[in-house]
Amino acid sequence: MHTPATHTLALRDYGHSHGSHAHDYFQVLIGLDGVLEIEVEGRGAGIAAGEAQVVAPGDRHDFSARRHGAVCLVLDTTQPAWARCAERAPPGSPQLHALARYLAQCMKQPQASALALQHGPALLLEAWSPSPASSADSRRRRIDWHLLADWARARWHQPLAVADLAEVACLSPSQFAQRCRDEQGMGAMQWLRSMRLAHARELRMGGMSVAETARRTGYRSPSALTAALRR
């Protein structure tokens, strides 16, 4: 499958099919009927009606439907905020499953399909991982700094900003910036630069050339990396 531009929402009947693949975007599966057996990176699970699973980019997954097949609402998305959902078990959320069934019905009706496609992905993310209701609530939302650093390491080739980090952490940019100062003792962009430099040092200590290290960590030139390492 090709990488979706942003989101692709579909209703899929797996019949008696089985398969095995990986892709470079998140895939969210919500069971509507039957049971889809799925194994993600060696971890087996079954997606029955009312159950859900997030497959992270790059994760090899095998799947097969039981005798009577399975129907799932499937969201293919590049939205980075789904990284938080992929790291924890699917919620037992009646709202999420009711929303999935509603979207499935909308997609069967041409008049409502466009509206479901437009707003469905954001509604599913909100139902799975609700945004904090207030600034006080947001301070209680735990930030997995190790997971966030790994997410950034995979994207040094992109121009990352505070808003990108905040989106992954499910916070507003101002809330994320304050949490970074409180928990990491530095500004958000300073934290990001320190992660980039630490990765560069790690690669150089492993024997990688300056030019290749600069390319992998997103520095504009080998000399820019050298100057950063000296500082």
Contacts (Cβ under 8 Å, ≥6 apart) of 8: 75, 76, 77
pLDDT per residue over 166-187, tens digit each?
888 888 888 889 888 888 888 8
pLDDT per residue over 56-103, tens digit each?
888 888 888 766 788 889 999 888 778 777 655 555 667 788 888 888
Distance between CA atoms of 145 and 194, rounded to whole angstroms? 13
pLDDT band of 137, cuts 50, 70, 90: very low
Q: Using DSSP, how many helices (H) and how many strands (E) does the chain show?
A: 10, 6
**pTM score, whole prediction:** 0.54
> Coil, strand, or helix at residue 172?
coil
> What letter does residue 187 receive in the DSSP assignment?
-
pLDDT for residue 138 is more than 70: no
Among the listed residues 88, 117, 92, the one whose alpha carbon sits nearest the alpha carbon of residue 104: 117
pLDDT per residue over 31-49, tens digit each?
888 888 888 776 777 788 8
